Structure formats: structure tokens, C-alpha cells
Amino acid sequence: MEYSKKTVVELRKIAKQSGLVRYTRLQKAELIAKIEAHEAQTLIPSHFTPNASLQIEIPTQTPILASTVQKVYNKTKLAINTCVEAIERNIPKQPMKIVKEKLGVMQTKISSYFRKIINKPKFELRETASAIKGFTKQYTVEGASGIDVASFLSAVRPSVLDLLTQNRQTKVSFILTCAMERVNMKPGEVDSTNFPFRSKTEVVLDSTDVSEIYNGVKDKIIESMAAFQMRGSNWRLKAVQKLDINTVVYKPLKGSSYIPLPKYLANKKGIVNMKNEDDECFKWCVTRALNPGNNNPERITKELIRQSEELNWSGIDFPVAADANVISKFERNNNISINVFGYEKDVNLFPLYLSKHENDRCVDLLLISDGEKKHYCWIKNFDKLLSSRTEKSHNSMHHCKRCLIGYRTIDSLTKHTEYCSQHDAQKIELPKPGTILSFKNYNRSARVPFIIYADFESFIKPIDTCQPDPSMSYTNKYQKHVPSSFCYYIKCFDDDLYTQTPVTFTAENEDDGVAQIFIDTLIENTKDIYN
């Protein structure tokens, strides 16, 4: 629009309609410049308006490829340059300097954000130690400052999953070492230490979901760190030092082809030993247990093969390892419970795997060995296998499959199972007769005239200590018992000779030496007795 042909009055009306202020005293040339500058500013797209408080959220949890960020950066740069060219075509020369300065600030700020993403620290997984000819190895990822634990574990996730995928048939454990610091309130100094947060040992097999294992490890480490910081010690994360991954080759027991039963087990008449020539004894034992037959149950028949096809064997590799991950997967696929027991000549029967899936369909298996060769058998009668009849006892027993203890009635076994199921499977072995030392010469014992019964109560206070040296033996002290009260009673063998009421004391503050008061009071009572 040609404003030079307008009068001052007309220009002032235009300025008023445009919402301008402080234009009444301006000359015509100044008024035209102000109106044109206002119109040029309205041509700038709203999403390119310079804003000093502009903030861009940078994703920290999910790793971003540098190539992807570079593409976004190039597109953003092109859009900004296009906008600058449009502004230069429409804005008069007078306010152009201010606009260029603000656009330059915005370009610098956006470039710095992208530079931070592109220059993020790269975490490299490398092998740092090996022993026993590669039987056990250690891999390490060096940490960095300025990154939290959750972000660090997310950043190294692809490398760790790739390592676990390439190293199956192993046991693996994770140790995240973090630099922790706190302010000591009394001297005002800052204490720092490197503290390790450990995961549980996990088993990685061919059918194991490594992603699920890593998620569990991540949750365990974060939970351990939260518990450490909630102890009231004011510890806070300073930096992630490193992540150590320890692996060891794991070769679980696997059942294969037919092995004759030991004579002791064969005489029990409670085991069906499948006569298979392949490595699928696990399959035939489970199928036979679900479809028992009276005539030659140990034979692999066409009917048994057809019945085995009704079960879901997906993800199960033969020979089947006596491993919790493998067997529990088969249990979930078929809604069945599997228990596996081992046998050795000196210790007899012992549990290898006990199902956590309660189901009416339950199969008990026995894994026997002949050197390096293993073989599954079906335990047809568990109580008969564990029975030990003597001349004095011929009653049948009902045995607990967790601790292998026998009970005469089902009710007794049910009551026992309520408590035994809260613990891990184990076999209780009592000492053999004649192997226990005990006091027997009661005729040589002397009767004492006085006995003192004493009891203390105390407050428990947490102890803040430094990280111990793992290369040396140490005791982990984490709490201190501070005595708060005591009570003792002196008993004489004859009350007519001496009697005394119980002596009690309760501390009123922390400065009271409860232990010392106990000793002093007891000494006074002892002197009274001798006097």
C-alpha cells in the first residue's frame, strides 16, 4: 500500500486501527515507518516468533540415532532459512537489523539443542576379564556423569540384549557401580563412595526371553538404589561409574535315551522307565503319566506318539534341561504341573525342580544318570518310592514333595504343607546315631547356690559406614543396639536363706550408661549376699 500519498490524519486512523500506540506526535515519515514495521511483523508465522523462554524437551529415556537427529536438524534448518528469506522480502530495511538479531538468537538456541543430542555419550560394551579358558567372562560398560540410572540402563539396553542373545546357555549377573555422595551435617564435609547395586543371577537358555530378563534386572537395580537412599543417610547419585556383566557357562542336566534303573529304585516298583532310543524321554514320560497304561507302560507305541501330539511342545528343545525356565514354559503352554527329582546313591532322592503352578494334572519325574548320560523316568507312585518299611513299622506314609518328610495321615501332611510351601525345596538330613557330642556325666555336676536371670531392652539405631573393601573379609555393620532398660532377678536355692524382688531400671535419656548401671547394681547385690 502506498502510504506516502496518505495525509497525516489518514495515517493516524490506520495506526489506530492497527492497534499502535504513541503515534500522535510522530511526523509523517516516522508514522509511515511505524505502520510498515507493524505490518511486516504480522507477516512472520506465529510458530517462528522469537521467544526468549522457548524450551524444547529432549527425550532422555529412549535412545535416538544420530542419523535421525541429523535429518530433523537439516529439515529444521531449511524451514528457518525459508522463513528468513520470506521476512527479508517483506520487512523494510529499518527494522531488519532487530529482526535478524532475534532470528540469529533463535537459530543458535535450536542448534545447541540438536548439538546436545548428536553429541550424547556413546556407551561401548567390551570384554574386560576372562578365566578358566573362557568358561567365565566379565563385560563392562563405562558410565558417565550427568545421566540418571534409568536413562543409562535404557541407553545400554540394545548392547546388553545383543550380548545376551549371542551368549545363551549361561548364567549372568549385573553389577551397577554408582558414585554416591552426601553432606555430613556436623563437619559440613561431602562424603563420597562408589557403591555397587547387584541383580539376581539369571539363567539364559535358548528359549529364554532376554528382554524380560533385562527388564527384571533394571527394576531390581533401581529398587535397590531407592532402598539404599531411603535409609536416612542422605545419599544422592553423583555419577554412574560402570555396569559389569558377569557370565559363566551353564550346562543344565538334560534327559536323553534309555538308562536302566538302579537296583534299589527298580525294587521299589513305583517308577516307569520309558525305553526310548531318542532324546525325547521327557515327552514320553509326561505323555505316559497323562495316559497311563496297564500293559507294558514303558514301551513307545503308536498310540503314545499320537497322544503326545495333543500337547503343546512349541519352544521346547530336546533333550529337555532340568531348568526352571524351560519346564515352567511347558507348564504354561499345557496347564500342567511338573516336579523333577534327582537321585544319588549316597543321598537317595532330592528335589531338582518343584512346580509353582498348582494344577490337578501333576506329573512327577525322576532324572537318573549314568556318567554324563541323563534320562527321565515317570514316578508312578511317589509315596511308594520313598517308603522305608522296617520290622516295627509297616504303615504307609504320605510324603511332602518339598522336604520329603513322611506323615501318617493326609491331614497332617496338609497342615505341614501350609508352612513348608513358604520355603524353598530342601531335603532334611538328620545326624547319624553316634555322631553327636552331648553331656552325659551328670554325676559330676555341682549344684550352684545362686542363679541370676537378666534381660535387656534396647533401641535400634542405624549405622552409617563407608563401603568395605571387597578383597578382604569384613562384617557389615548396619545397626546398633543401644540399651534402654534392664531387669534381673537373683534366685537362691533356698528362699529362706535369701530372697529379693526383681531389680529394674529404665534410662531417662541417652547419656545414662545402662550397661554400667547394670554392672554396678549387680556388684552391690553380690556383696550383700557374701556379707
The cell 529398587 sits on which residue? 223
Residue 412 neighbours by CB distance under 10 Å: 13
User: Which among 347, 356, 373, 376 is positioned nearest to 364, based on CA atoms?
Assistant: 376
Q: Which of 14-23, 42-51, 186-195, 276-285 has the highest mean pLDDT?
A: 276-285
Please give the pLDDT value at position 117.
Answer: 53
**Pairwise CA distance, residues 149 & 157, whole Å:** 12
pLDDT > 50? residue 61: no
Specify which of 110-114, 155-159, 180-184 reaches the highest per-range mean pLDDT: 155-159
* Closest to 288 (Cα-Cα) out of 298, 279, 278: 298
Band of the pLDDT at 467, cuts 50, 70, 90? Answer: low
**The pLDDT value given to residue 50:** 47
pLDDT for 442 beyond 60:
yes
pLDDT band at 109 (very low <50, low <70, confident <90, very high): low
CATH of domain 125-249: 3.30.1490
What is the distance between the terminal CA atoms of the chain, rounded to a whole angstrom? 123
pLDDT, tens digit, 9 for 90 and up, residues 325-341: 788 888 888 888 988 88
Computed on alpha carbons and rounded to an integer, the radius of gyration of the chain in Å comes to 40
Question: 127 - beta bridge partners?
Answer: 139
CB atoms within 10 A of CB 144: 15
Between β-strands 373-379 and 362-370, what pairing exists: parallel, antiparallel or unpaired?
antiparallel
Query: Quick one: cell of 437?
Result: 557330642
Q: How many residues would you count in the chain?
A: 531
| pLDDT over 50 at 390, yes or no | no
Any alpha helices (H) in 358-472, and if so which ranges?
A: 382-386, 410-420
Beta strand pairing status for 373-379 and 271-272?
antiparallel
Question: Which residues touch 300 (CB under 8 Å, ≥6 apart)?
Answer: 274, 275, 276, 284
For residue 124, CA distances in Å to 33, 139, 143 come to 60, 10, 9
- Residue by residue, DSSP assigns 454-485 as EEEEEEEEE---PPP-TTS------EEEEEEE
CA–CA distance, 323 with 205 (Å, rounded to integer): 9
pLDDT range class, residue 391, cuts 50, 70, 90: very low
Average pLDDT over residues 151-177: 88
Q: What is the DSSP pairing of strand 348-353 with strand 337-344?
A: antiparallel
Matching residue, cell 490337578: 360
- The whole-number pLDDT of residue 111 equals 64
Q: How does DSSP classify residue 207? A: T
Q: What is the pLDDT of residue 522?
A: 92
Q: Please name the residues in contact with 25: beta carbons below 8 A apart, sequence gap of 6 or more.
A: none
Phi–psi pair at 113, nearest 5 degrees: -65, -45
Highest mean pLDDT among 221-230, 336-345, 482-491: 482-491
pLDDT for position 227: 80
Preceding omega of 468 cis (within 30 degrees of 0): no
Q: What is the pLDDT at residue 112?
A: 63
Overall average pLDDT of the 89-112 stretch: 64
The dihedral region occupied by 335, where left means phi > 0, alpha psi between -120 and 50, and beta the remainder, is: left
Rounded CA separation 335/318 (Å): 20
Question: Domain-by-domain residue ranges, the chain?
Answer: 8-118, 125-249, 263-386, 446-530
Whether pLDDT at 407 is above 80? yes
263-386: what fold? Cathepsin B; Chain A (3.90.70)
Q: What is the pLDDT of residues 284-300, one digit of tens each?
A: 889 988 888 778 888 88
